Amino acid sequence: MSEPLLAIENLHVTVEGKEILKGLSLTLRAGEVHAIMGPNGSGKSTLSFCLMGHPKYVITQGRMRYEGRDIGTLPPDARAKAGVFLAFQYPTAIPGVTIANFLRTALKSVRGGEVSVKEFRQLVKTQMKTIGIPDAFMNRYVNDGFSGGEKKRLEILQLAVLQPRLAVLDETDSGLDIDALKVVAAGINALRSAERGILLITHYQRMLNYITPDHVHVMVDGAIVKSGGSELALELERQGYAGFRPAVAPAA
């Protein structure tokens, strides 16, 4: 069997001295979509930031291997150039910077070289049509005055333009109404491929009504406590996370 695209082994991570991830392990292969579901405070976003190399998140034990290479000490830009992408739960606004300039600069940085205007325009036009984004979108400033749905569509457009091998989507469904959710989910489905792995982090099963994952993992208190197929998300919808929380011993 081929080398996993992503292999996380017994990962322990602290944030400002507090341990958040407590022995998390996960294996994701190219072509697979994995959904991580868990309650608030379980460590889902910590995992996404750690994968991208945020300096605030300190690995104290374990390792993360991407394409067989330990990426735990690589800076964020090196991970991005290697093909790791993070879609944020709360994308930042950048007034004064157009989406066109932002995307072209990002593409040049990831590729490590110049991108012609003609190639860039053709690439972006094709991906915008696939995702259902109007041409006028490109002249707007990045996330400035955007609705929640527009912010998430821009995240998916970035994914489509940069074409990473590993896409980590941190609660992409957060703040979306049903119409925006369908558009974003369709964009994600259009980008599924045999060469790409997707790690989809979410609170709710509703996102998985439109994106069928190959594997679902339940994350509680910094670790994955159960894994299964797409049916596991339906089980969570019925019973919630209470049945997956560790039992608390009664006070003496």
pLDDT at 183 exceeding the cut of 70: yes
H runs (alpha helix) in the chain: 44-52, 76-82, 99-111, 117-131, 148-162, 178-190, 231-239
Which range, 47-61, 146-160, 170-184, has the best average confidence (pLDDT)?
47-61
Digit-coded pLDDT (tens) for 125-145: 999 988 888 888 899 999 999
Q: How many domains does the chain have?
A: 1
Asked, for residue 63, whether it belongs to a domain, the answer is no
Beta strands 33-37; 197-202: pairing state: parallel
Query: pTM for this structure?
Result: 0.91
Does a structural domain hold residue 8? no
Cα separations (Å) of 67 from 25, 26, 116, 195, 214?
Answer: 16, 14, 29, 12, 20
Q: Identify whether 225 is part of a domain.
A: yes
Q: Examine residue 142 and state whether it is found in any structural domain, yes or no.
A: yes
Q: Is 204 or 3 the better-scoring residue by pLDDT?
A: 3
DSSP 136-173: GGGGSEETTT--HHHHHHHHHHHHHHH--SEEEEESTT
Question: 93: domain range?
Answer: 33-41+75-244
Residue 245's pLDDT is 67
Residue 106 falls within a domain, yes or no? yes
pLDDT at position 158 over 80: yes
Average pLDDT over residues 25-40: 95
pLDDT for position 51: 97
Residue 249 included in any domain: no
234 falls within a domain = yes
Confidence of residue 149 (pLDDT cuts 50, 70, 90): confident
**20 falls within a domain:** no
CATH number, domain with residue 158: 3.40.50.300
Average pLDDT over residues 36-42: 91
Which H or E run includes 224?
strand 223-228
